[in-house]
Structure 1
């Protein structure tokens, strides 16, 4: 098969990427290793078209439109033109992309267009309790209308998007995000720094940073040796104010030396931080299917997360992790303390977490499910 993935964030040097980029960096090379032709197509603020072969994946980046409005339409014209060239050179079987990928796509006869839902505009508008942007809502609905099939990274993201967009006639399976078991290896418990708590992700309100710091005040009062380390890029308010600087205001003076904002770290260093931590804490207010949680579980580390939509598809509460109310700092602190006070629980949570990943979230299993679905679409 020839599979084309639409994304502007495939992880190459200098490319800022999120969960979709991380996911594709795992799946695309695996598909190429299996003998499929894999092309990634995206836009960037570059002056000339760039083509890079990375692990057997042909990554094509074309210049984004400099038009102010409506930029999306001009960008889609460029994508459509490039897709025609790719198809002419080697027939495309499936084009895959996230929610808004096909808003103004010019469909090529014989090619199937698949949306893999990772959480789109309607989903996150609901989760963040904000109004939808009319233009973005229109684009997303138009994209779903143009798609031939829809799958999702969690049952939760599919069910909640259905409240706004009817795609029942095109609905496919839930295919989870895979674990990166090469980078996120089984942790060596001899490297644990006692009392170290760790978080990785964007430093912003919806990742639960406020509740995490509030909970840490409670934990530190009982266990003064504990320290909290938070790794991730800063988030900025519309007026340019740093969220990190604002949130530091709730850190008491007594805890200044025990709360550490590490800033953005290379992905290659995250496993070492997870390995050296006694507990990982990821108190998100919303997620579609959190790769960061899968990374912690892959390493067999005890962790505390929150009772949000897809959490129950990923974590067996009390067995492979502990879940707390994302808005309740007291409950979050209680879960952290449970692990700190119970060595047997700490060990069993980590062991069960890794076993669950090995059963359900391996790259091989996710690739198998994806290939089976692609073949089903084109047959």
Structure 2
């Protein structure tokens, strides 16, 4: 089978930007090729048109078209033309695209299109309590209605998406996956007590809550250290150009001395930081099926995450992690302290985390489920 993906994010060398969607596509694509299938990835929003091969995966870089007022349409038609062109020489059986900004809204192809719900702009605006742009909402709904099949990375995401767009369309839940051979835990003997967050430095990820947790942790465990990895982003709600600056003002003076903001790091290096961490924290308010959580758990790390929607499909409290209301500062901090101070509890949760990934979130599992779904959609097309 020849499978194509459309995305604006993909972690190839010199990638313009990489998000969780790009990482999840790469994980799936690599497993699909391992199973003997061909994969082409069409990455738009690039600096130039180009073709590269990443291992066994063909990557077509597409520079967005520009004509004031019509760029959105011309870019979609450019993607369409490129896919149809490749299809003439190397038949494509099925195309998958994310729901974000409805890139397939005006793309017409000679093969079925599957939309994977990783969280649309409308979805995240709903969770954030923000107003959704009309243009994005229009394209996202049109793409959903047109899709020949829908995969959702979590049941929570599918239900909220249906509610937001007032549609009732069949979907299949297949979560994002992690390559468990690449993400194999490394034992690092250390007495350090390192709390790690990695991801965007932005309000919707719960970053403005983290100082409140760490102030409590620092009071009881002054030797604990907080490490934050990710790009500092402006805060939409307040207009502040730096979420990091907002965070820094919330730490006590003493606690701030034990905080390290490391900024963005290459994807290949993140694994080393996770391995060195004692506990990983993710107090997010808006996710679909966060790859960062899955990667930390695959590396046998105990995590404390938010207790919202999607987390119920990942975390069993006390078995493979902890889930807490992000605004419950005391409980969140206490869960962190338990894991920092109780080695037996931490070790038990770490083992449970890895088992959960192997059982449900390994690409070896998710790729087979995805292939089975593709075959069904192709046969019905």
TM-score, normalization by structure 1? 0.94
Q: Which residue of 2 aligns with 1:350?
A: 350
SS in 2 for 1:44: coil
SS in 1 for 2:5: strand
Q: Which residue of 2 aligns with 1:262?
A: 262
1:254-302: CA deviation from partner (whole Å, max 9, x where unpaired): 1232011011112222222122222111111121001111111111122
1:196-238: CA deviation from partner (whole Å, max 9, x where unpaired): 1111111111111121111100011011111111111110246
Q: Which residue of 2 aligns with 1:28?
A: 29
Aligned residues: 374
Q: Which residue of 1 aligns with 2:147?
A: 147
1:102-138: CA deviation from partner (whole Å, max 9, x where unpaired): 1111232xx1110011000221111000112111111
Check whether the contact 2:208–2:246 (CA below 8 A) recurs between aligned residues.
no
Q: Which residue of 2 aligns with 1:117?
A: 117
* Distance in structure 2 (CA, Å) of the matches to 1:240 and 1:212: 18
Distance 1:214 1:357, change over 3 A: same
1:9-47: CA deviation from partner (whole Å, max 9, x where unpaired): 121122111011101111112212322221111223434
Q: Which residue of 2 aligns with 1:107?
A: 109
* Distance in structure 1 (CA, Å) of the matches to 2:256 and 2:337: 21
Q: Which residue of 1 aligns with 2:192?
A: 194
1:169-211: CA deviation from partner (whole Å, max 9, x where unpaired): 4x23111111232332123152x34221111111111111121
Q: Which residue of 2 aligns with 1:235?
A: 233
TM-score, normalization by structure 2? 0.94
Q: Which residue of 2 aligns with 1:275?
A: 275
181-190 or 151-160, which moves further after superposition?
Answer: 181-190
What is the correspondence of 1:255-334 to structure 2 with a 5 Å cutoff? Answer: 255-334=255-334
Unaligned ranges ≥5, structure 1: none
1:319-355: CA deviation from partner (whole Å, max 9, x where unpaired): 1001110122222112112223322211111111111
* Distance in structure 1 (CA, Å) of the matches to 2:167 and 2:35: 31
Distance 1:196 1:24, change over 3 A: same
Q: Which residue of 2 aligns with 1:79?
A: 79
Check whether the contact 1:285–1:327 (CA below 8 A) recurs between aligned residues.
no
* Distance in structure 2 (CA, Å) of the matches to 1:131 and 1:63: 29
Check whether the contact 2:158–2:171 (CA below 8 A) recurs between aligned residues.
no
Unaligned ranges ≥5, structure 2: none
* Distance in structure 2 (CA, Å) of the matches to 1:184 and 1:107: 36
SS in 1 for 2:208: helix
Distance 1:319 1:307, change over 3 A: same
Deviation at 1:90, TM superposition (A): 2.1
Moved over 6 A (4+): none
* Distance in structure 2 (CA, Å) of the matches to 1:45 and 1:24: 17
Deviation at 1:56, TM superposition (A): 1.3
Check whether the contact 1:211–1:328 (CA below 8 A) recurs between aligned residues.
no
Deviation at 1:84, TM superposition (A): 1.8
* Distance in structure 2 (CA, Å) of the matches to 1:289 and 1:163: 18
**CA RMSD for the aligned pairs?**
1.6
37-46 or 366-375, which moves further after superposition?
Answer: 37-46
Q: Which residue of 2 aligns with 1:41?
A: 42
* Distance in structure 2 (CA, Å) of the matches to 1:237 and 1:314: 28
SS in 2 for 1:261: strand
Deviation at 1:240, TM superposition (A): 7.0
Check whether the contact 1:227–1:259 (CA below 8 A) recurs between aligned residues.
yes
* Distance in structure 2 (CA, Å) of the matches to 1:267 and 1:83: 28
* Distance in structure 2 (CA, Å) of the matches to 1:70 and 1:300: 48
Check whether the contact 1:193–1:276 (CA below 8 A) recurs between aligned residues.
no
* Distance in structure 2 (CA, Å) of the matches to 1:277 and 1:291: 17
Q: Which residue of 1 aligns with 2:7?
A: 7
